[in-house]
């Protein structure tokens, strides 16, 4: 039924009286078209499906995204040929175009030749200064070779939640493998019966998992609490990828119960039919980091000189809601900052920012308060020492927003320093990191991997760069799938007058400090961490908004109802208070 001038009328009657049309299928539902803010309903029988329907606007599920990337990844040599074919076609078009001839426009038929260089990879240190050298001919990865984490933690009390219908033998096998692999790497799991609790809970589908998981986690915590013990870790095995259950687990554990969860998939643990020690080892990297350990650091011989003095490395990112959720969901800003010269441990600040229906606000509005909080934490962690320099790696900022972001965020950072101490003026370096561009590099010599991608450490800082501003392109990872996309770094401000080589080396070496893997990643660790924090905060917000508003609580859906101002403030306060379990909870 719909309301017409205050009178309830059925859709069939409305079409008959308004248009003189008798509906053939009056019982079928209508299609809701146009903007979510408008109520335009059309009976299905008046709609036809065109041969090419509109692509899905919503975020795809994780497995669909992975499949899409796999199918669309193009090998470097193929991509190079496609670009050359496109150039040739454009050339032929312009050659015969009278207007192009008149204005003297022509296109080069070849790709631009540039001179680049490959930076030397750093050496990595493990426990007792055990050093791993990265091969210059095959950079971007290294192997631990039975070395142990720099600082391994002890997991005294832990639970194993089996939601994947594993039998008793498999549960014991996984637990003993975590103990043995952890011990080899310097992460100590207690194996006594009183320290490990195994809980079996079936999960037929995502909905059942969402309903069950909170109660199960509460019981697990209560069981340890009764024995006067603190629960250090909960390892959860899922039978399949279930985004909604994962989001609920993270929210309940981190925001409500104060637990550290580690989720894993049965299919990943049991690759090729048997338990994979490599997968268990990768999970141990995450567990050690989450619980406050340090996996690896840069060797003293490789550490850039600027990291040998008190310096705070910051990373920032702003996550915006999907287009269909504009005006309903806010933007979320995440800022991380290193707490010691090794740049391995980070503290986190999250801010919720309301945004309009039209534009996405890229500026972090509360930058002054955020910087103050992070500086105070640095001061407390370093025995009363203040950072002499601050280096900010800012993600998610387009060229049109450079001046706005710089004029507001840099000024806010300066004010934060001044408010803490009148004469405190650390040198600030502000760098924007961009990955959304169409520049690709194809090496013409032997400085490439077997698949044709440029070697990790390849830097281009002349030829296609800005004539006056300091910017450079850096490929810092080994491109395994498709063609490597370099990172574009813009130095917007630099009080320290760093040499270009110093900043390029710093950016490259920071890419080796990502604690989840023994690889160099595609952009600096602080920006990567800021992205992970923003993503986790978005999950927490979706859960909180769903609870508070009584609406949908599913992952990225736009179905969460509009919250009142009081509810918005409450959700914002909870999110900005942060996760107290561990500073590195997001890894």
Return d(Cα 150, Cα 144) in angstroms, integer.
Answer: 11
Please report the pLDDT score of residue 558 as a whole number: 40
Please report the pLDDT score of residue 550 as a whole number: 33
Note the pTM of the prediction, 2 decimals.
Answer: 0.88
Counting other chains too, the contacts that 272-278 makes at CB distance below 8 Å and 24 or more residues apart are 275/170, 275/173, 275/174, 275/177, 277/177, 277/181
Q: Would you report the helix, strand and coil content of the chain in percent, each value rounded to 5? A: 35, 20, 45
Counting other chains too, the contacts that 12-16 makes at CB distance below 8 Å and 24 or more residues apart are 15/43
Helix (H) / strand (E) element for 11: namely helix 11-19
Please report the pLDDT score of residue 38 as a whole number: 78
CATH number attached to the domain at 154-290: 3.40.50.2300
Please report the pLDDT score of residue 360 as a whole number: 64
Domains 154-290 and 299-438+465-577 share a fold: no
Contact 157/230 with Cβ under 8 angstroms? yes
Domain ranges (residues) in the chain: 2-46, 78-111, 154-290, 299-438+465-577
Return d(Cα 336, Cα 370) in angstroms, integer.
Answer: 10
Nearest to 337 by CA among 386, 268, 269, 407: 386
> Would you write out the chain's pLDDT as a tens digit for each of its 587 residues?
788 888 898 889 988 998 899 999 999 999 888 877 777 889 999 988 777 666 666 667 777 888 888 888 999 999 999 999 988 888 888 888 889 889 988 777 789 999 999 999 999 999 999 999 999 999 999 999 889 999 999 999 999 999 999 999 999 999 999 999 999 999 999 989 889 999 999 998 888 999 999 999 999 999 999 989 999 999 999 999 888 899 999 999 999 999 999 999 999 999 888 999 999 999 999 999 999 999 999 999 999 999 999 999 999 999 988 777 777 889 999 999 999 989 999 999 999 997 655 556 689 999 999 999 999 999 999 999 999 999 999 998 889 999 999 999 999 999 999 999 999 999 999 999 999 999 999 999 999 999 999 999 999 999 999 888 899 999 999 999 999 999 999 999 999 999 999 999 999 999 999 999 999 999 999 999 999 999 999 999 999 988 333 333 333 444 446 788 888 899 999 999 999 899 999 99
- Give Cα separations from 53 to 50, 56, 60, 314 (angstroms): 6, 9, 16, 44
Contact 319/306 with Cβ under 8 angstroms? no
Looking at domain 2-46, its CATH class is mainly beta
Please report the pLDDT score of residue 241 as a whole number: 87
Return d(Cα 291, Cα 582) in angstroms, integer.
Answer: 7
Please report the pLDDT score of residue 552 as a whole number: 34
Give me the helices (H) in 463-524, please. Answer: 500-510
Please report the pLDDT score of residue 212 as a whole number: 93
Nearest to 161 by CA among 63, 276, 258, 245: 245
Q: Which CATH number fits domain 299-438+465-577: 3.40.50.300, 3.30.420.10, 3.40.50.1110, 3.40.30.10?
A: 3.30.420.10
């Amino acid at each position: 039924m719909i309301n017409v001038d205050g009178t309830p009328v059925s859709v069939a009657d409305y079409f008959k009286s308004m248009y003189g049309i008798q509906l053939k299928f009056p019982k079928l539902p209508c299609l809701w078209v146009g903007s979510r803010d408008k109520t335009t309903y059309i009976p299905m029988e008046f709609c036809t499906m065109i041969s090419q329907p509109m692509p899905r606007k919503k975020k795809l599920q994780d497995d669909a995204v992975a499949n899409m990337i796999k199918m669309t990844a193009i090998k470097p040599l193929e991509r190079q040929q496609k670009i050359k074919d496109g150039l040739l076609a454009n050339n032929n078009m312009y050659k015969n175009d009278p207007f192009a001839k008149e204005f003297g426009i022509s296109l080069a038929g070849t790709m631009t030749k540039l001179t680049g260089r490959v930076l030397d990879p750093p050496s990595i240190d493990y426990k007792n200064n055990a050093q791993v050298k990265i091969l210059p001919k095959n950079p971007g990865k290294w192997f631990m070779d039975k070395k142990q984490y720099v600082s391994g933690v002890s997991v005294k009390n832990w639970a194993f939640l089996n939601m994947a219908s594993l039998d008793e033998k498999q549960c014991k096998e996984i637990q003993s493998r975590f103990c043995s692999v952890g011990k080899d790497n310097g992460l100590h799991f207690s194996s006594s019966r009183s320290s490990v609790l195994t809980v079996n809970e079936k999960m037929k589908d995502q909905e059942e998992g969402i309903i069950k998981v909170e109660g199960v986690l509460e019981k697990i915590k209560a069981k340890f609490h009764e024995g006067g013990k603190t629960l250090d870790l909960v390892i959860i095995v899922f039978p399949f990828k279930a985004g909604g259950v994962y989001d609920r687990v993270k929210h309940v554990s981190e925001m409500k119960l104060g637990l550290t969860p580690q989720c894993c998939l049965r299919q990943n643990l049991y690759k090729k039919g048997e338990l994979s020690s490599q997968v268990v080892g990768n999970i141990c990297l995450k567990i050690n980091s989450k619980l406050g350990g340090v996996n690896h650091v840069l060797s003293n011989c490789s550490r850039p000189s600027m990291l040998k003095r008190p310096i705070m490395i910051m990373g920032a990112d702003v996550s915006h809601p999907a287009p269909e959720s504009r005006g309903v969901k806010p933007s979320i800003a995440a800022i991380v900052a290193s707490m010691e010269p090794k740049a391995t441990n980070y503290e986190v600040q999250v801010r919720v920012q309301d945004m309009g229906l039209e534009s996405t606000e890229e500026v972090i509005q509360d930058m002054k308060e955020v910087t103050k909080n992070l500086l105070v934490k640095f001061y407390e962690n370093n025995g009363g020492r203040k950072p002499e320099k601050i280096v900010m790696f800012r993600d998610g900022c387009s060229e049109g927003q450079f001046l706005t972001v710089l004029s507001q965020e840099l000024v806010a950072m300066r004010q934060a320093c001044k408010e803490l101490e009148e004469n405190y003026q650390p040198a600030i370096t502000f760098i924007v990191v961009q990955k959304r561009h169409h520049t690709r590099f194809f090496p013409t010599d032997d400085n490439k991997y077997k698949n044709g991608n440029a070697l990790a450490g390849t830097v281009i800082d002349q030829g296609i760069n800005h004539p006056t501003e300091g910017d450079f392109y850096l490929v810092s990872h080994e491109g395994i799938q498709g063609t490597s996309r370099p990172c574009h770094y813009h130095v917007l401000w630099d009080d320290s007058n760093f040499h270009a080589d110093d900043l390029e080396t710093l950016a490259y070496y920071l890419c080796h400090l990502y604690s989840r893997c023994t690889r160099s990643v595609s952009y600096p660790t602080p920006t990567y961490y800021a992205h992970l924090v923003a993503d986790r905060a978005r999950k927490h917000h979706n859960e909180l908004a769903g609870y508070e508003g009584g609406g949908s609580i599913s992952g990225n859906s736009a179905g969460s109802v509009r919250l009142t101002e009081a509810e918005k403030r409450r959700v914002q306060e909870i999110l900005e208070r942060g996760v107290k379990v561990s500073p590195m909870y997001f890894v």
